[in-house]
């Protein structure tokens, strides 16, 4: 088992993801972390994000159509993805136990993802 070191870079990446409400991608985390650690590299941000996902400290959101997004919230909640502006919105609803509905034997399920897509309220405005 590899020991994970708590470097300043990794702490800053974790803090940035937790602080953000926008489900940032690597580039956004990079910009944010750079304010405190101007010399951090994008590669380190990618490596830190990967490590944090592996440790279960943050969650990965794929399927938003662009770069991978990250989520500091660890509870199981669905997302809405706006196909127009790319926004990822947390949906605070209580989901039924979908995992329990699976009858196919042999699968070891470690995570469940529920995603809705469409157009968000802002993008539905006629002036957009």
Binding site for its own copies (CB under 8 A): 62-63, 65, 78, 80, 83, 89, 91, 93-96, 98-99, 101-121, 124
Taking the least distance from each CB to DNA, the nearer of 25 and 71 is: 25
Question: Which option in its own copies, DNA, none does residue 35 bind, with CB closer than 5 to 8 A by kind?
Answer: none
Question: Which option in DNA, its own copies, none does residue 85 bind, with CB closer than 5 to 8 A by kind?
Answer: none
Taking the least distance from each CB to its own copies, the nearer of 4 and 114 is: 114
Taking the least distance from each CB to its own copies, the nearer of 16 and 82 is: 82
Name the residue with tokens 């690597």.
26
Is 17 near DNA (CB under 7 A)?
no
* Cβ-contact 25, 86 below 8 angstroms: no
As a residue count, the chain comes to 128
SS3 of residue 121 by DSSP: helix
Is 43 near DNA (CB under 7 A)?
yes
What are the backbone dihedrals phi and psi of residue 38, each rounded to the nearest 5 degrees, phi first? -60, -20
Structure tokens at 106: 């042999």
Structure tokens at 74: 């660890």
């Amino acid at each position: 088992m590899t020991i994970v070191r708590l470097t300043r870079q990794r702490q800053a990446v974790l803090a940035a993801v937790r602080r953000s409400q926008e489900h940032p991608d690597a580039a956004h985390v990079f910009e944010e972390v750079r304010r405190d650690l101007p010399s951090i590299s994008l590669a380190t941000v990618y490596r830190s994000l990967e490590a944090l996902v592996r440790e279960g400290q943050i969650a990965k959101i794929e399927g938003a159509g662009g770069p991978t997004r990250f989520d500091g919230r660890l509870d199981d909640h669905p997302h809405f993805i706006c196909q127009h502006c790319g926004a990822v919105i947390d949906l605070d609803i209580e989901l039924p136990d979908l995992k329990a509905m699976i009858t196919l034997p042999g699968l070891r399920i470690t995570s469940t993802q529920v995603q809705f897509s469409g157009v968000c309220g802002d993008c539905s405005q006629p002036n957009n």
